[in-house]
Amino acid sequence: MTDNDSVTSEPENLKHRRIRSFVLRMGRMTAGQQRALDALWPRFGIEYTTDSLNLDEVFGRHAPRMIEIGFGTGEALCAYAQAHPEVDCLGIEVHRPGAGHLLLQVEQYGISNVRASCHDAVEVLTHQLVPASIDAVHIFFPDPWHKARHHKRRLIQPVFADLLARVLKPGGILRLATDWQHYAEHMRAVLDVHPSFTNVADDTGYMPRPDDRPLTRFERRGHRLGHGVWDMAYQRR
Ligand SMILES: C[S@@+](CC[C@H](N)C(=O)[O-])C[C@H]1O[C@@H](n2cnc3c(N)ncnc32)[C@H](O)[C@@H]1O
């Protein structure tokens, strides 16, 4: 993430349509990531369209479904998919080298229950995912957008919570983690009062770190910087 707000390839008339939660970096794609994308995207990749996605067709079965938004390099997504072969796991990440890295792990570990979308999650949730179709949403270490003038770019906002509520099944679970206390408090401020969510943590409002959440690249970075970590969980009413 950089502070450069200007990177967008949208047509002029759409530029001011919406504040994005990401800046597309031209990060280096390794040869391995490119090879994995070339070889595996046709099988594991999902192209963005404005049509509804038939997840039964995409995964070739009817199963419980989780999505991870902003999976980065995909460690948490792959670990979850391996630990839960009965669950179909869709990762959404705008950063293409991250998708390549995910597919390298899919190949290395022979994972079959993962699919990837390389597109803005706001649009995927708005157009491609059908209402009440998802059992769990994971959002781990979303970009914190530290500066006050950038807080509007944070992914977790009331309108995004509406989108999450729309795709989650009643009883479905939203899991979040951040290493930035101010963002944790912001998430609580948005979600604790949202009519479709119930905070399922203890009296503190936060969860103990779940054993099944592997250390991600950003969490390791947070540890190096001496940050704390705040885990949260909400149930869709
Ligand atoms: C700080 S990184 C964390 C990555 C990973 N979850 C981890 O813990 O290492 C946040 C990621 O979210 C992605 N992202 C931000 N906004 C997004 C959006 N609207 N749709 C999809 N991905 C997004 C960014 O590209 C970035 O890779």
Please indicate whether residue 162 is annotated as part of the active site.
Answer: no
Token pair 């309108």: residue? 159
Residue 17, pLDDT score: 58
- State how far the Cα of 33 lies from the Cα of 180, in Å rounded to an integer: 30
pLDDT confidence of 1, banded at 50, 70, 90? very low
Residue 8, pLDDT score: 40
- Maximum Cα–Cα distance for the chain, whole Å? 48
- State how far the Cα of 64 lies from the Cα of 53, in Å rounded to an integer: 15
Q: How far is CA 73 from the centre of its chain?
A: 11
Q: Which atom of ligand 1 lies closest to the CA of 144?
A: 1
Of the two residues 9 and 47, the one the predictor is more confident about is 47
Cα 202 to Cα 106, 136, 180, 210, 232: the distances in Å are: 35, 19, 20, 13, 10
Q: What is the pLDDT of residues 161-182, one digit of tens each?
A: 999 999 999 999 999 999 999 9
Task: Give the β-pairing of 168-178 and 230-236.
Answer: antiparallel
Q: How far is CA 198 from the centre of its chain?
A: 20
Q: Please tell me the least confidently modeled range out of 57-61, 125-129, 183-187, 212-216.
A: 212-216
Would you say residue 104 has pLDDT above 80? yes
Cβ of residue 135 lying under 6 Å from some atom of ligand 1: no
Cα(70) to ligand 1 centroid in Å equals 3
Mean pLDDT of 224-231: 95
Cβ of residue 93 lying under 6 Å from some atom of ligand 1: yes
Chain mean pLDDT for the chain: 92
Of 38, 143, 202, 212, the active-site residue reads 143
Residue type at position 59? F
Mean pLDDT of 100-123: 98
Fold for domain 33-236? Rossmann fold (3.40.50)
